[in-house]
Amino acid sequence: MRKYHKKNECRICSSQDLKLILDLGKQPLANAFIKKENLQKYENKFPLRLYLCKNCFLLQLLDIVDKEFLFKEYLYLTSASKPILNHFQKYASEIYNEFLKEIKKPFVIEIGSNDGSLLKEFKKLGTDVLGIEPAKNIAKMANDIGIPTKSNFLNQNIIKKNSLEKKASIVVANNVFGHIEDLKEFMKCIKLLLKNKGIFVFEVPYLIDLIQKLEFDTVYHEHLSYFSLRPLMKLMNEFNLEIFDVKKQKVHGGTIRVFVAEKDNFEITKDLKELIKYEEKFGIYKIKTYEKFSDNVKQLRSELQDKLSKFKKEGKIIFGYGAPAKGNVLLNYCKIGTQFLDYILDTTPLKHGLYTPGMHIQVRSDITHQELSSQQIALLLAWNYEEEIIKKENEFMKKGGKFLVPIPIPRLI
Ligand code: TYD
């Protein structure tokens, strides 16, 4: 099976005028946690490099790991992160109240529906639902809790083969759009699945947050595109669609929820007009913004390494808090291994007992607070949940334990 290929043109506008912005080195897949018995085996590593299209300003990866290899068994479980579940509850009720309440038998399709956590919320509101989720192990979990889920990558053949004739009022895709290599085929499918006047709602991490907060560790092989509005608008335009609204969200370090429909069906909102202006002002369409970002990431790496070495010399015990995919990018890029971290705590049962890709640090389940002493420093790899985690771990902090938050500038709290 082929595992990898290199593209040489932009995913949206096909321009070959591409500039290398950040090279994160050769990295293993960020979610490829390893069983103990496989630690000695060969680990696949692929270049991880960010390129900017100088024509349409899509920031993207061009080193593409084939999706069959990347997603065949997946360890990311939406339901493992409570803040995401809260987000989904609110998400479903907002969409329902705004667009579905008046419809007789509303039907929602979710692409990349993971374990069915969001669709479950739509179902509770009385909506018919269907999930499409490529990871077989996870699609099964959704089916087991009563969320009908097809285990496939979305493409036009699959729509035909599964006779997905019932059209949806809403198609949602959460944190999926950035994972799609063939965005044009994807948009053709969305059009096939949507009813007349239907709405495509998707959430993607927002590029301005990535740049501003130096969230370089959210760059990994699964995430092929990093979006601001201009390239998205260009893509939608090709399909006679338009973005009519956008809402900023806190999840995943800063996300935008984007609303798309056939042109002229909905009024363009004030929020959208304002965000377009803000992007220009921020300089997201200027190359020097990206050059500065790249310099800052390099500086962050050396600051973090210096801080960890200093703590180690002082005899502190350091462990990782959370084993997200992004944590692995950070650990691999900054070369933080067992010389610094004794173990990593994570709440995802599927990850327990496994070792992190590349750096081979063991992931463990929650340790009781009694075991945590004042000598300890937790490197907060799941920095996107800083607020929740700090609240949850006040016992640890009361005992003198500290969190080291790695981005945007390593700081102790
Ligand atoms: P997340 O940031 O959702 O994903 P990604 O892998 O895309 O970077 O992952 C958060 C990880 O942190 C997940 O493995 C669950 C874990 N976690 C904890 O261990 N404790 C917590 O309190 C929370 C909120 C998450």
| pLDDT tens digits for range 143-163 | 999 999 999 999 998 888 877
How many C-beta atoms surround the C-beta of residue 310 within 10 A?
Answer: 10
Alpha helix ranges (H) inside 221-324:
229-238, 270-282, 287-313
Whether 393 maps to a domain, the answer reads: yes
Instruction: Quote the pLDDT of residue 72.
Output: 64
**Is 43:28 a contact under the CB 8 Å cutoff?**
yes
Inform me whether the pLDDT recorded for 73 exceeds 90: no
Distance 323 CA to ligand 1 centre (A): 6
The model carries a pTM of: 0.93
Residues paired with residue 406 on neighbouring β-strands, in sequence order: none
pLDDT band, very low/low/confident/very high, at 395 (cuts 50, 70, 90): confident
Distance 98 CA to ligand 1 centre (A): 30
Which residues form the pocket of ligand 1, taking CB atoms under 6 Å from any ligand atom? 76, 80-83, 322-326, 346-348, 382, 384-385, 388-389, 392
Whether 70 maps to a domain, the answer reads: no
Q: What is the atom index within ligand 1 of the atom nearest the CA of 381?
A: 12
Length of the chain: 413
Whether 228 maps to a domain, the answer reads: no
Give the 3-state secondary structure of residue 172: strand
Distance 322 CA to ligand 1 centre (A): 5
In which residue are the tokens 């979006």 written? 227
Residue of 86, 218, 385, 387 to test ligand 1 pocket, by largest number of atoms within 8 Å of CB: 385
| pLDDT tens digits for range 325-335 | 999 999 999 99
Inform me whether the pLDDT recorded for 384 exceeds 80: yes
Which residue lies with its CA nearest to atom 10 of ligand 1? 324
What range defines the domain where residue 392 resides?
A: 309-412
Q: What is the atom index within ligand 1 of the atom nearest the CA of 83?
A: 24
| Mean model confidence pLDDT for the chain | 93
Whether 28 maps to a domain, the answer reads: no
Say which residues have a Cβ less than 8 Å from residue 170's Cβ, sequence separation at least 6. Answer: 95, 99, 100, 106, 108, 109, 198, 199, 200, 201
Instruction: Quote the pLDDT of residue 81.
Output: 75
Inform me whether the pLDDT recorded for 252 exceeds 70: yes
Inform me whether the pLDDT recorded for 263 exceeds 70: yes
pLDDT band, very low/low/confident/very high, at 173 (cuts 50, 70, 90): very high
CA distance 305 to 310: 9
Say which residues have a Cβ less than 8 Å from residue 365's Cβ, sequence separation at least 6. Answer: 345, 346, 347, 349, 352
Q: Pairing mode, if any, of strands 376-380 and 402-405? A: parallel
Inform me whether the pLDDT recorded for 369 exceeds 60: no
Instruction: Quote the pLDDT of residue 70.
Output: 81
Instruction: Quote the pLDDT of residue 255.
Output: 97
Whether 90 maps to a domain, the answer reads: no
Whether 317 maps to a domain, the answer reads: yes
Whether 53 maps to a domain, the answer reads: no
Burial of 213 (0-12, 13-18, 19+ CB in 10 A): middle
Whether 278 maps to a domain, the answer reads: no
pLDDT band, very low/low/confident/very high, at 217 (cuts 50, 70, 90): very high
CATH, residue 341? 3.40.50.720
pLDDT band, very low/low/confident/very high, at 165 (cuts 50, 70, 90): confident
Number of domains in the chain: 1
